[in-house]
Structure 1
Amino acid sequence: MKLYFCLLIFCSLINQSLLACSGFRVMRNGHVYVSFNEDWSDPNTKIWSEKGTDSTYAIVWLGYESMPRQSAINEMGLVFDVFTVPEREVELIDDEDFDGEKFKTDLMSTCATVLEVIQFIRSYDMAQINGAQLMFADRTGSSVIVEADTMIFQLDKDYQIVTNFNQSQIATQASIECKRYLTADSILNKDQRIGMEYCKNILQEISFKECSGTQYSVIYDLTEMKIHLFLFHNFNEIHSLDVNQIFKEREIDQSLSSLFIQNSNYLAYKEAYNNGGNIIKELLECNDELVFDKLLKDLGVYSELCMLDEDLYLVAKVKLDEKQHLLHDLVVQFYYDHDIRGFAEMDLLAAQYYLRKDNFDKASYFIKSAINNREIGWYISEEITLSDYLKLQKKIEKRKSK
């Protein structure tokens, strides 16, 4: 579900979740691994393959029913994944419609190396992916992160890490705040081992264990051309696939969950996500207070099973923009009553609401939560800075002391 500032290029629906994704490429002792955590809310994940032709490469894709082509490997061992990042100001030269799905398909079916990817991308105005970034890696161990207006290489280390911030906007390593990035960097820098288990352990360290969190993890062994999959932040069960065997013997098109033993936590979450998503759509369209309140009560059934923070922020922000203040306030009250963990921006809305109500204890609670979430990277936009949160905290403390 979700995503208020919708990335129309790579997300086919506005109700996609903006959560945190992580990845890294490491090459040691002649062995290349590329590993990713997909930390979106949608549990409806899938895997499928496309045959090659005389002029195109075969591809194995990973993604979602509602948002395909999130990650892939082709028969030449080229890998890619998509990551959301905060939008920023970039110059858009070509404002023609950009078909993100076609772009990804054309690239993965014709490029074999990172060098060829770079040449391919030069014919596009990549400012059109503003709000997203791509990581590519190949069997030689080369990798690149493609932002809206630049490319990031890691030439001084045998690994490269990507999460959900624009690395081109970071002055020094010391200024990086993302804990997932820092955790992966610390392990990769200090522990010089290599292997599938090594990569799995890093993914596990930087995964989200909450009910939503990491929907699937994938380790691409580019040397052996293997795919190792994990479902729903469960790193105790692995499903491995031979890429070359898929291309030679069979095509695949199935849900990722069909490859694993069905666990009750995943099934309960999937039901909650799908049912809760339908309620969120109704909330977005509803302007009647009584109906809106009933829908929130119906949504409460899923609050402990399904991560609702992004949905609620979307609904609250839309109602605020529409000047439906009463409906906005109902969302904030629901957010508090159900003790839902949220993005910094949702906590900020709650802090502002309770400040208006002169409930300084709750306002203080939410602004502290907002500051903490901002510091750990649990936020949506760079437009609201940490100093903005600190200013509101001082305002609350000043009002509270009177």
Structure 2
Amino acid sequence: PIVNGGVFGETVLRNCKNVDEAMQFIEQYDLSSLGDMQFLFADAEGNSMALCPGTDGKMKVVSKAGVYQVTTNFNLLQRNQGYPCWRYNTASEMLSYIKSEDHLTVEYFLEVVRATCNQGTTYSTIYDPVHRTAYFYNKQNFEDVAVFDLKEELEKGNHSYDAFRLFPKKAAEEPEESESPGEVTEPEEPQPVTKGTSPGSLSGFLFAISAVALIILVALVYRKMKKVKEEVH
């Protein structure tokens, strides 16, 4: 069957609990209706993959190489269109500084978001797939944040939010850098990933994000980091 491009991400979320299941699921569909769309899928087990059109126009999977995966507004399989991309390079460099699970903090990922934000950024979201928590920022306002416990939100059933009503009414600050990357910094001393909540750790949650603006996701969990440490030693 031909997949409905408008609800493709939601369809995957409803039917798959991890990246492996997502790979098997999409093989059942004709993805030609997705056109030039690009997706990034990741789960709490530390796996991720990008889905983007190849030179033949057919959707193909780009699996994660290493401990993180980055995608911005250019096609990973057709780098002659939109690459080099300073946002992609900045994010990749900053994520390369992560050497320990202690550096996987909302605070550091917020620095990545700040460094790659531009005037066209409508919103930014940081996902913690292990604790199922989402941090939502409006435009260039990084002082105010709406925090969602996804377990609690799912228990509420079908509902929606007006994003603009989640934040105080005030002029959004323009980003310091809009055409070139800012200073790339290494992670500072880690802070707790979640504040004020203690969401239950639930197995296998899958995130799907369309590459409309910046997409950064690092899905690292203890067993993945331990595996890397063992290989290093």
TM-score interval, normalised by the smaller of the two chains: 0.5 to 0.7
Q: 2:141 aligns with which of 234, 255, 265?
A: 234
Show the 5 A alignment for 1:132-147.
Answer: 132-147=37-52
Q: 2:71 aligns with which of 153, 162, 172?
A: 162
Q: 1:125 aligns with which of 24, 30, 34?
A: 30
Q: 2:132 aligns with which of 225, 230, 233?
A: 225
Deviation at 1:132, TM superposition (A): 1.2
Deviation at 1:120, TM superposition (A): 1.0
Alignment of 1:259 with 2:166, yes or no, is: yes
Show the 5 A alignment for 1:253-402.
Answer: 253-265=160-172
Identity %: 26
- Superposed CA offset, 1:51-78 (max 9, x none): xxxxxxxxxxxxxxxxxxxxxxxxxxxx
- Judge conservation of contact 1:134–1:145 (CA < 8 Å) in 2: yes
Q: Helix, strand or coil: the match of 2:161?
A: strand
Q: Helix, strand or coil: the match of 2:49?
A: strand
Aligned to 1:153: 63
- Separation in structure 1 between the aligned mates of residue 7 and residue 157 of structure 2, nearest angstrom: 24
| Structure whose alpha-carbon radius of gyration is higher | 1
Deviation at 1:167, TM superposition (A): 1.4
Name stretches of at least 5 consecutive residues in structure 2 with no aligned partner.
Answer: 174-233
Deviation at 1:191, TM superposition (A): 4.3
- Separation in structure 1 between the aligned mates of residue 21 and residue 140 of structure 2, nearest angstrom: 34
Deviation at 1:250, TM superposition (A): 6.0
Deviation at 1:168, TM superposition (A): 1.8
Aligned to 1:114: 19
Deviation at 1:249, TM superposition (A): 4.5
RMSD in angstroms over aligned alpha carbons? Answer: 2.5
- Separation in structure 2 between the aligned mates of residue 102 and residue 160 of structure 1, nearest angstrom: 23
- Separation in structure 2 between the aligned mates of residue 115 and residue 191 of structure 1, nearest angstrom: 25
Matched positions, count: 165
* CA gap 1:258/1:250 in 2 versus in 1, 3 angstroms: farther
Deviation at 1:256, TM superposition (A): 0.7
Question: TM-score normalized by structure 2?
Answer: 0.64
- Superposed CA offset, 1:347-399 (max 9, x none): xxxxxxxxxxxxxxxxxxxxxxxxxxxxxxxxxxxxxxxxxxxxxxxxxxxxx
Q: 1:203 aligns with which of 97, 101, 113?
A: 113
Name stretches of at least 5 consecutive residues in structure 1 with no aligned partner.
Answer: 1-93, 267-402
- Separation in structure 2 between the aligned mates of residue 237 and residue 218 of structure 1, nearest angstrom: 12
- Judge conservation of contact 1:154–1:160 (CA < 8 Å) in 2: yes
- Superposed CA offset, 1:132-176 (max 9, x none): 111111110111100123111123x210000111212349xxx95
- Separation in structure 2 between the aligned mates of residue 232 and residue 263 of structure 1, nearest angstrom: 11
- Judge conservation of contact 1:176–1:182 (CA < 8 Å) in 2: no
Deviation at 1:106, TM superposition (A): 2.5
- Separation in structure 1 between the aligned mates of residue 36 and residue 7 of structure 2, nearest angstrom: 18
Q: Which has the higher helix share?
A: 1
Q: Helix, strand or coil: the match of 2:94?
A: helix
Q: 1:248 aligns with which of 143, 147, 155?
A: 155
